[in-house]
Amino acid sequence: MGRMRAWPGKGAGAVGRAGTWDPVTAGVVLARLGPRHEPALRFFTPREEAVAEALLDHVLARSPDDPPVPVLTVIDDRLATGEYDGWHFADLPQDAEAWRRSLAGLDEDARLRHDGRGFPESGYGERDRLLRHVLQLGSGDWYGMPAGHVWKLWTRYACEAYYAHPHAWDEIGFGGPAYPRGYLRLGRGLREPWEEPR
């Protein structure tokens, strides 16, 4: 994402305001910046890890210059501990199983189309076409699941992990936690002194 504002460096942005947050919120948010516990992955097999990482790179358009926002490890953690969203579509298995099946499906799609090369081994453009294909199927069947519901599962988990991160907030101009400080300048075009123009 070269076009975007450069990652502003440690201590700036939302994290730089952590001193104004209440301790419980600071604990929860700052933990997203720290090291993750070992073993790093508990749910995904190595093959699934490779497919999921490639999938998430596409869904979130991640590039090596991006600030470090953990997504795969967060999803793995949720699926390993059963921290779902409290529901699943009747025509999809529970989230964990739906992730496994859909990753296997992507890999299979790639192999069928690209002479036995799996999803992570395919080229960027090839992967992009494979994903567009799934998206275009809409409510049509894809490996025994409605493609549209699978797509929503992927984007939901990806967005929940990515946009929970303070680096992502800086990227979009969100102020982050606001307790106990609150906001004083409300209204169109108004900014707090620390809010940067966008």
Partner 1 sequence: MSGRAAARTLWESARPQGDVRRRNASAWLPHVTELKRDMRRFADSDEVDMVVVGCGAGGATFTQRLAHAGWKVVCLEAGPFWDPQKDWVSDEWGSHHLYWNEPRVVGGSHPVPMGSNNSGRGVGGSMVHFAGFAPRLHPSDFRVRSGDGVAADWPLSYAQLRPYYQRLERELPVAGQYWPWGDPHPYPHPPHPVSGNGEVMLDGCAKLGIEARVGPVAIANGRFGNRPHCIYRGFCLQGCKVDAKASPLITHVPDAIAHGAEIRADAMVTRIETDREGRRVTGVRYVRGGREYVQRAAAVAVAGYSIETPRLLLNSTSRRFPDGLCNDHDLVGRYVMVQGAPQTAGRFAEEIRMYKAPPPEVSTEEFYETDPAKPYVRGFSVQTVSPLPIMWAEHVAEQGHWGPDLRKRMTDYTHWATLGALCEFLPQAENRVTLAEETDRHGLPVARFDHSQCANDGQLMEASRKVMEEILRAAGATELMTVERYAHLVGGCRMGRTAEEGVVDADLRSFAVPNLFITDGSVLPTQGSANPALTIMALADRAACRLAGKEPR
Which residues are at the interface with partner 1 (CB under 8 A)?
1, 3-5, 21-22, 24-25, 28-29, 58-61, 83-91, 94, 128, 131, 135, 152, 155-156, 159-160, 162-164, 168-169, 171-184, 186-191, 195, 197-198
What is the closest distance, in whole angstroms, from the C-beta atom of residue 124 to partner 1 in the complex? 11
CA angle 4, 119, 116 (to 5 degrees): 150
Q: At what angle do helices 72-81 and 46-59 cross, to 10 degrees?
A: 130
Q: How many residues does the chain have?
A: 198
Cβ-based nearer residue to partner 1, 45 or 155: 155
Which of these, 49, 63, 50, 48, lies nearest to 7 by C-alpha position?
63
First to last CA, the chain: 17
Which residue lies nearer to partner 1 by CB, 45 or 91? 91
Q: Which is nearer to partner 1, 45 or 124 (CB)?
A: 124
For partner 1, give the closer residue by CB, 91 or 108: 91
The number of CA neighbours under 13 Å toward the Cβ of 14 is 23
Q: How far is the CB of 12 from partner 1 (least distance, A)?
A: 17
